[in-house]
Amino acid sequence: MSEEIRIPDEAVASAESHCGRPVRWDLISSRRGSVVWKGVGPSASVALKAGQGDGAPITSREITVAERLPGHSPLIASGRTEATTWLITPWHHGPSTWDVFHTVRTTHQGTQEARDAAVDLCLAVADLHRQGWVHGDLQPDHAIHTRTGIQLIDWTWATSRALTPSRIFRGGLPHLLAPELAAEIKAGHRPVKVTPAAETYTLTATLWRSATGTWPFDYTAACKTEGSITGPGARQLIASGQLPPTLAPQWPAVLSVLRIAMAAPPEARPSASDLALLIADAAQ
């Protein structure tokens, strides 16, 4: 368990009720006041997220999303103590998008599996958009490819017509931001409102990142290395519209589709469902 945040007794009891006893806890991540564990019991596995300090309102918002979006992020249990806010959801078994694309990135093989995974992810995002929601934080590790379909995770920043954006949300992973969203953030507009078009850009950039291991833009054109680019710096450069796309050798037919989609203005950008068709056609 994390030395910073301990699992509340009520959360342990809820997990044991769902998974059976005993439950083994494995630490998955710990950052910025938010900790995630995987709990494995005799009959089931769960994900437990707990937040303290700055992490508490973030965890609390994910609880709100789970309560309003049943089916996408099933909530097994949640609670609050004086210091900690926590929630438990099912553990989704399967590789992330990043994992599925490993062979494409490293050996330029495995394109059939990657094509199917990319199409499935696009269709899952399209279905979410049809329901009037955006995820808000798509990235290569936030989609799990299970036997029964795509499971998106980390729903903290999801929004809908009835759930407005949080004022502490900064737009998601900066390197994957749509240029128009980066420009709004740079201009100080709050709250950050992710549109379906902006999210489709991030979806496209996520697939680019997964397939190539590189960010969509070549930061060396700004005389900088990737390691020297901070979040605000990346947003500023992306908002400028002056960065050239990164050149990558993997999967040229599909990368061409992704490059064209990212270069399109928001009003001409393909939807998530359109992107699924374009990728399926290009990868044949």
Residues 33 and 103 in one domain: no
Is residue 2 domain-resident? Answer: no
Residues 113 and 56 in one domain: no
35 pLDDT above the threshold of 90: yes
Residues 112 and 227 in one domain: yes
Q: Which one-letter DSSP state was computed for residue 43?
A: S
Q: What is the largest CA-CA distance in the chain?
A: 56
Residues 125 and 226 in one domain: yes
Is residue 1 domain-resident? Answer: no
Rg (CA), the chain: 19
Is residue 4 domain-resident? Answer: no
pTM: 0.94
Q: pLDDT per residue over 63-110, tens digit each?
A: 999 999 977 778 999 999 999 999 999 999 999 999 999 999 999 999
Question: For helices 272-282 and 111-130, what crossing angle results, to 10°?
Answer: 160
Is residue 45 domain-resident? Answer: yes
Residues 67 and 102 in one domain: no
Burial class (CB in 10 A: 0-12, 13-18, 19+), 148: exposed
Residue that terminates a domain, selected from 61, 90, 119: 90
Is residue 3 domain-resident? Answer: no
Residues 222 and 170 in one domain: yes
Residues 120 and 235 in one domain: yes
Nearest CA-CA partner of 262 in 212, 187, 203:
203
The C-alpha atoms of residue 89 and residue 77 are separated, in whole angstroms, by 7
Residues 82 and 206 in one domain: no
Q: pLDDT per residue over 130-140, tens digit each?
A: 999 999 999 99
Residue that terminates a domain, selected from 65, 90, 115: 90
Residues 58 and 199 in one domain: no
Q: What's the total number of domains in the chain?
A: 2
Residue that terminates a domain, selected from 55, 90, 125: 90
**Domain of 265: which CATH number?**
1.10.510.10
| Structural domain that includes position 252 | 97-282
Residues 79 and 142 in one domain: no
234 pLDDT above the threshold of 90: no
Handedness of CA 240, 244, 245, 246 (dihedral sign): negative
Mean pLDDT over each residue of the chain, to the nearest integer: 93
Better-predicted residue by pLDDT, 28 or 284: 28
Residues 263 and 143 in one domain: yes
Residues 130 and 237 in one domain: yes
